């Protein structure tokens, strides 16, 4: 079912838009879980604040993750102008990838999960630890049977 029909059924619900954004973020995080995202590029004091910084030694995985998150953040920023969680995610991309790459994906998911948690009736970002490796699997949870059925996401999975 396309988004136009779904939006009409749900009455243009902003929860549907948040669910789709959450689903996209979960897919990005899942794609890069276990990837090589360590950045050994030289650090400069304004690195986390500026838009231009040395990325000479970043991995291809890191470059792809940064690009994917910035695209997601642009889409989220259009829907939620000035949203603190979106700004925080962008800051985490710039800061934690350089200093704490192992915690980067969790640090990216945390502000969004907290933002969504302020409305327990709306969509949520969940994760679970999978297998002995300790890898996380992220998923969007709608907290609505109707949204789950319409999205084809009855188990909350984000697999494409």
Closest of 42, 26, 28 to residue 99, by C-alpha: 42
Q: From the CA atom positions of the chain, what is the Rg in Å?
A: 16
Position 90 scores a pLDDT of 87
pLDDT at residue 119 in the model: 84
Domain ranges of the chain: 3-37+58-151
Do the strands 124-130 and 135-141 form a parallel or antiparallel pair, or are they unpaired?
Answer: antiparallel
pLDDT digits (tens, 9 = 90+) for 100-145: 666 677 778 889 999 998 888 788 888 888 877 777 888 888 776 5
- Band of residue 10 on the pLDDT scale cut at 50, 70, 90: very low
Q: How far apart are CA 19 and CA 151, in angstroms?
A: 9
The answer, yes or no, to whether residue 5 has pLDDT greater than 50, is no
pLDDT digits (tens, 9 = 90+) for 54-100: 677 778 888 888 899 999 999 999 999 999 999 999 887 777 666 56
What pLDDT was estimated at residue 68?
A: 93
Instruction: State whether residue 44 is helix, strand or coil.
Output: coil
> Which of helix, strand or coil describes residue 77?
helix
**Pairwise CA distance, residues 95 & 98, whole Å:** 6
């Amino acid at each position: 079912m396309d988004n136009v029909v779904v939006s009409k059924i749900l009455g243009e619900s902003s929860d549907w838009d948040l669910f789709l954004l959450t689903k996209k973020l979960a897919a990005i995080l899942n794609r890069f879980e276990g990837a090589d995202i360590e950045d050994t590029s030289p650090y400069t004091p304004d690195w986390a604040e500026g838009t231009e910084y040395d990325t000479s030694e970043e991995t291809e995985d890191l470059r792809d993750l940064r690009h994917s998150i910035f695209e997601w953040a642009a889409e989220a920023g259009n829907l939620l102008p000035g949203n603190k969680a979106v700004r925080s995610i962008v800051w985490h991309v710039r800061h934690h990838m350089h200093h704490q790459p192992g915690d980067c994906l969790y640090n990216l998911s945390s502000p969004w999960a907290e933002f969504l948690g302020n409305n327990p009736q709306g969509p949520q970002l969940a994760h679970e630890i999978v297998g002995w490796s300790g890898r996380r699997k992220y998923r969007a949870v709608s907290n609505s049977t109707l949204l789950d059925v319409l999205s084809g996401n009855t188990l909350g999975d984000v697999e494409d």
